[in-house]
Structure 1
C-alpha cells in the first residue's frame, strides 16, 4: 500500500465506465468546518452515462438542476432525492459530456443516503472541484479490490435495456446474503430446531 494521494483531473476526465469501477477501494475524504477529517473507503458505485442513458438525469437535457453534470470531470454533483436524502456523484468525462459516478456506499455505511448523512454532505457541496477542494476529495492509496457488477438500483423509470445493464460496481464485502428464512416467534424457532434434530437422526 502506498501513501494516499488525491485523485487528479486525469482520473476523472475518462469515460464513466472506466472511472466508476476504478473508484472502488478509493478513499472519500470529508473535512468538516471543525477541521476534523472523515475518511471512508468507497465500496459501491453506479455509472450514469449521458443523454442516451434513460436512467441518467441528463436524459432530458441540460437544466438548472443538472447543469453540474455538464461540467468537466472531477466536480461533485449533489442533489436531493425524494426530498429526503442527499446523493453525491463524481462527474466524469469531458465538459458538456454529462456523465457521473454515483457513490452508493463506503465501509460501514451502505446506501447513498447513509453515506452522505454520515459524512455530512449536502447540496452546499454541489459543483465542488474534487481535485482542489479543501472540504471534500478522493484519494488513492494503491488499494485495488475486486468487484462484481449488477443492475443499478431505483431506476424503474428507465427503459428495459438501461434498467438491466450491469453498471453497478460493488466490492464483495458489501454483498449481503439473501434472507431465506424469517423467524416469526420463539415458538417457530423451537419448532425449526426440533425439525432439524429429527432430520439429523434419519
Structure 2
C-alpha cells in the first residue's frame, strides 16, 4: 500500500474510535511522538490541527503581560502517541518580564543553557525543573527573555488519565484526587499532562504533541484578578508587583486573593451606583 494511502487509513481508523484506548502504563503515555516516522506527526495530522481553532504565531507575539491575560480561557491540548488527548482550560498565569524583572530566570538579560527558550520566538515552551523532581511550563512572549508561567488549568477531557499520571508522580499511599486538585499549580499541571524537560524549546504552533486552541468563552476585564506572584522571595518591588492573573470565581485556581477580590467587588458596586 502506498505510504500516503496507508497514513490516511491509519488516520481514519483512529478517528473512528468511539472512546480513548485503555490506560496501560505511565511509560507508554510519556513516550513522545516520533516526528519522522509516526503518522501522528505527519503532514496529515498537521493539516487536521491547522483546520481547527489552534492558536497561531500572531497570538503569542504580544507583550508579556498582555499574553498572560490573553492566555486565560484558552485550551491547552496534549496528544499522546496512542492518539488520546488531554484538554484543560487555562485559569491562572504569571508574567515574567525578562531582564528588568528581578524574579525572572532571565534577569539582567542573562541567557544560559537553561533559559534559552525564554529568548526564542513567541510561543516557544520553556520547561524547567524545580527541587530536582517537578517541572514548570512557560510560554515565551514578546520581549527579550520574557515568558508566561502556566499556573493552573481547569481539566476538561481525559481526567482519568490525568489522575493516573498525578498518582504515579506522588509519594506515599495513593489518595483519590478531586477534579480541582488535578491541575491547581504549575507542577501539578505538568504532572497531569505528562510534561517534562523533553518539551523545553518546543514550538506551540508546530508541535504534534502539544498546542493551544481558542477557548469558547473568553473572560472580560472584570473577570480577571491581578495580584502578586506566588513564591517570590526578597526581590524588592518585584515581590509584590501584580503580575499573577487568574479567573475570578474559578475553583481550579491555585491560590485566591480574597482581599483583591473584595476591592474589585467594591469598585464594581460603586461604578454601578
TM-score (norm 1): 0.81
The yes-or-no answer on 1:138 pairing with 2:232 is no
Q: Equivalents in 2 of 1:123, 1:91: separation in Å? A: 16
1:183 corresponds in structure 2 to none
The whole-number CA distance in structure 2 between the counterparts of 1:135 and 1:13 is: 21
SS in 1 for 2:106: helix
Report which of the two has the higher share of strand.
Answer: 1
1:128 equivalenced with 2:175 (yes/no): no
1:155 aligned residue: 232
Q: Is the 8 A contact 2:140 2:146 kept in 1?
A: yes
Counterpart CA distance in 2 for 1:18 and 1:4 is: 24
In structure 1, the residue matched to 2:137 is 88
Give yes or no for the alignment of 1:53 onto 2:101: yes
The gaps in structure 2 that reach 5 residues or longer are: 1-50, 155-179, 259-273
Give secondary structure in 1 for the equivalent of 2:114.
coil
Q: Provide the rounded CA distance (Å) in 2 between the counterparts of 1:40 and 1:135.
A: 14
Deviation at 1:144, TM superposition (A): 1.2
- TM superposition shift of 1:84: 2.1
1:132: Cα distance to partner?
1.2
Give the drift of 1:142: 3.8
Higher relative contact order (CA 8 A, sep 6+): 1
Give 4+ residue runs of structure 1 displaced > 2 Å after superposition: 174-178
Displacement of 1:34 in angstroms is 1.7
Report the counterpart of residue 72 of structure 1 in structure 2: 121
| Contact 1:73–1:93 (Cα < 8 Å) also in 2 | yes
Q: Is the 8 A contact 2:227 2:257 kept in 1?
A: no
Check the 8 A contact 1:152/1:168 in 2, yes or no.
yes
Q: Confirm or deny that 1:34 pairs with 2:34.
A: no
Secondary structure at the counterpart of residue 90 of structure 1: strand
Aligned-pair Cα RMSD in Å: 1.7
CA-to-partner distance for each residue in 1:53-90, whole Å, 9 max, x for gaps? Answer: 00100015001111111001011000101212100001
Question: How far apart are 1:155 and its partner, in Å?
Answer: 1.6
> Are the aligned partners of 1:4 and 1:140 in contact in 2 as well (CA < 8 Å)?
no
CA contact (8 A) 1:4 1:142 kept: no
- TM-score with structure 2 setting the length: 0.60
- How far apart in 2 are the matches of 1:113 and 1:141? 23
Partner SS state of residue 148, structure 2: strand
